[in-house]
Amino acid sequence: MTKITEHLAKLNHRVTTAVTNAGRSENCVNILAVSKQHPASVVESALIAGLTDFGENHVHEGIEKIRLAGNKATWHFIGQIQSNKTRQIAGYFDWAQTVCTARIAERLNNQRPQHAANLQVCIQLRPSSAPERSGANSDDIDDLARTIARLPRLDLRGLMIIPLPGLDDAALRQEFRRARQIMESMKQYSDAVDTLSMGMSADLEAAIMEGSTMIRIGTDLFGQRNR
C-alpha cells in the first residue's frame, strides 16, 4: 500500500463520518486532490489509489503535470486567475474554480479551444468582511452567474470559497452556510449548477456539515508542501 492509499483510506473514513453526521446521502462529496507544490509523480500514485480530480494553483506547474498525466485525470485550476494566464488555463484545464469577474469569464470563453469540451466554471466567493481577499462580492454574484451561464464555451457549475484562516467553528459554519445559500440561488441561472467547493484538510467536517459537494485536500493526502 502506498502512503497515498493509506492517507486516502483515512480521509474517506473522515468524509463518511462527516456525511453520516450531517444526515446526507453517501457519495455526495467528491475529493479534489490538491497536488500543488508536490512533484508530478504523486499524481500517478494518486490515480492508482483511485483519485480522479486534481487541483493546481500555478499555471506553469499545473501544465507540466497535465502534460505528464494527460487525460487520465480531470484538472481544476484553483489559484488566482490573472488575465494574462487565461489562455493557458482555457487551453489545458477542465475546470476553473476561481472566476471572480465577467472579464475573466469572457476571456476564458473566447480562448477555450474549439476541439475541447466546455470549461467547467465555479465563481469564487469573497469571504465575509475581507475586502482584500480575492473573490466576487455576494452582491455581484447574480450578475456574474447570469453572464457566465450565457457564455457558450463555459458551463456554470457552482461556487467555491476559501474562508479566512483562524475562524472558530461557529464562524466557519456560518461562512459555509452563506456560501451554500448563494450557490442554491445560482441554480436559477443554469441547470448545470451542482457544485459547492469548500472544505480543506483542516475544516472538511464543517464544510460537509454545511453542504459541501467537493472538498479540496492537499496536506492530508500528500503531506506537507515543501515549496
Ligand X SMILES: *Cc1c(COP(=O)(O)O)cnc(C)c1O
What count of other Cβ atoms lies within 10 Å of the Cβ of residue 20?
A: 12
Q: How far is the CB of 118 from ligand X (least distance, A)?
A: 22
Write down the least CB distance from residue 221 to ligand X, Å: 8
Q: Which of the residues 153 through 172 are near ligand X (CB under 6 A)?
A: 162
The rounded distance, in Å, linking the Cα atoms of 34 and 220 is: 10
Among 200, 198, 192, smallest CA distance to 178 is for: 198
Interface region with ligand X, contact rule CB under 6 A, candidates 44-52, 127-135, 148-156, 216-224:
216-224
Choose between 23 and 165: whose C-beta lies nearer to ligand X: 165
Nearer to ligand X, 151 or 215 (CB): 215
Among 36, 76, 126, 180, binds ligand X (CB under 6 A): 36
Name the residue whose CB lies closest to ligand X: 218
Closer to ligand X by CB, 16 or 201: give it: 201
Is residue 200 at the binding interface for ligand X, with CB under 6 A as the rule? yes
CB of 126 to ligand X, least distance (A): 13
11 belongs to the binding site for ligand X (CB under 6 A): no
Residue 22 as a binder of ligand X (CB under 6 A): the answer is no
Nearer to ligand X, 181 or 219 (CB): 219
Residue type, 198: M
Q: Judged by CB under 6 A, does residue 218 bind ligand X?
A: yes
Residue among 80 and 110 whose Cβ is closer to ligand X = 80
- 77 close to 58: Cβ distance less than 8 angstroms: no
Q: Is 122 in the site for ligand X (CB under 6 A)?
A: no
Q: How many residues bind ligand X (CB under 6 A)?
A: 13
Task: Identify the residue whose cell numbers are 466546455.
Answer: 118
| Closest CA relative to residue 199, chosen from 215, 179, 220 | 215
Which parts of this chain interact with ligand X (CB under 6 A)? 34, 36, 57, 78, 162, 200-202, 216-220
